[in-house]
Amino acid sequence: MGEFTPDEEKILAPFMTNLDKPIFALVNLPEVVKGALFSRYSRTTKSLRRVLLEEFILNKDMGFKEIVNHQTDSGTEQVVAIKKAEEFYDRVLVGYGDDSVAELAGAHVAIEQVSNIATKILQDSRLGLSPLEKSTRYVYFDQKVNGKWQYYEEPTIMQSEFADNYVKTCDLLFETYAKLIEKMSKYFMDKYPKTAEVSDRAYNSTIRAKTCDVLRGLLPASTLTNMGFFGDGRAYEYLLTKLYASNLAESKQIAKMLQEELAKVIPSFVKRANDKYGQSMQEYWTATSNETRKKVETTLAGFKHDNDREVTLVDYDKDADEKISAAILYQYSDLSMEQCLIIARNMGAQDKDDLVSSYLGKRGNRRHKPGRAFEHAYYTFDILANFGAYRDLHRHRVLTQTRQQLSTKHGYTLPPELIEAGFESEFKNAMDIAKQTYEKIAEKLPEQAQYVVPLAYKIRWNIKLNAREAIHMCELRSMQQGHIDYRKVAQEMFTEINKVHPMIGKHFNFMDMKSYDFERLESEKKLDKKLEELKKKYG
Residue-wise pLDDT for 77-88, tens only, equals 444 555 565 666
H-run or E-run covering 408: none
Query: Looking at residue 272, what is its pLDDT?
Result: 86
CB proximity list for 99: less than 8 A, separation 6 or greater:
234
Residues paired with residue 402 on neighbouring β-strands, in sequence order: 462
- The class that CATH gives domain 108-299 is alpha beta
Starting at the edge strand found earlier in the chain, the sheet holding 129-133 runs: 106-115, 224-232, 129-133
Rounded to a whole number of angstroms, the CA Rg of the chain reads 27
Q: Looking at the DSSP assignment, which residues form a beta bridge with residue 111?
A: 227
What pLDDT is stored for residue 33 in this prediction? Answer: 75
Res 78: pLDDT: 46
Residue 445 CA to residue 162 CA, distance in Å, equals 10
Burial class (CB in 10 A: 0-12, 13-18, 19+), 210: buried
- What one-character-per-residue DSSP string does 88-141 give? HHHHHHHHH-HHHHHTT-EEEEEEEEEEHHHHHHHHT--SSEEEEE--TTTS--
φ/ψ of 65, rounded to 5, equals -60, -45
pLDDT at 67: 66
In this predicted structure, what is the pLDDT of residue 321? 96
Cross-strand bridge partners of residue 458: 386
- 0.95 exceeded by the pTM? no
Name 492's Cβ contacts closer than 8 Å, sequence gap at least 6.
310, 311
Report the pLDDT value the prediction gives residue 281, as an integer from 0 to 100. Answer: 92
Max intra-chain CA distance, the chain: 81
Is residue 505 within 8 A of residue 370, CB to CB? The reply is no
Q: How far apart are CA 48 and CA 22, in angstroms?
A: 10
The letter for the amino acid at 235 is A
| Model pLDDT, residue 419 | 97
Residue 244, pLDDT score: 95
| Per-residue model confidence (pLDDT) at position 83 | 58
- 232 backbone dihedrals φ, ψ, rounded to 5°: -95, 165
Residue 197, burial from CB neighbour count under 10 angstroms (0-12, 13-18, 19+): exposed
Q: 454 and 173 in contact (C-beta within 8 Å)?
A: yes
Q: What is the pLDDT of residue 59?
A: 81
How high is the pLDDT of residue 265? 76
pLDDT means over runs of 10, the chain (539 residues): 83 90 82 73 80 85 67 44 59 55 79 94 89 88 95 98 98 98 97 94 94 97 92 91 96 93 81 90 93 94 90 97 98 98 97 97 94 97 97 90 96 97 97 98 98 98 97 96 95 98 96 90 87 82
| Domain residue ranges in the chain | 6-104, 108-299, 318-372
Q: Is 377 exposed, middle or buried (0-12, 13-18, 19+ CB in 10 A)?
A: buried
* DSSP per-residue letters across 161-195: TTHHHHHHHHHHHHHHHHHHHHHHHHHHHHHSPPP
Determine contact, residues 28/14, Cβ cutoff 8 Å: yes
User: Quick one: pLDDT at residue 520?
Assistant: 85
Beta pairing class for 400-403 and 378-386: unpaired
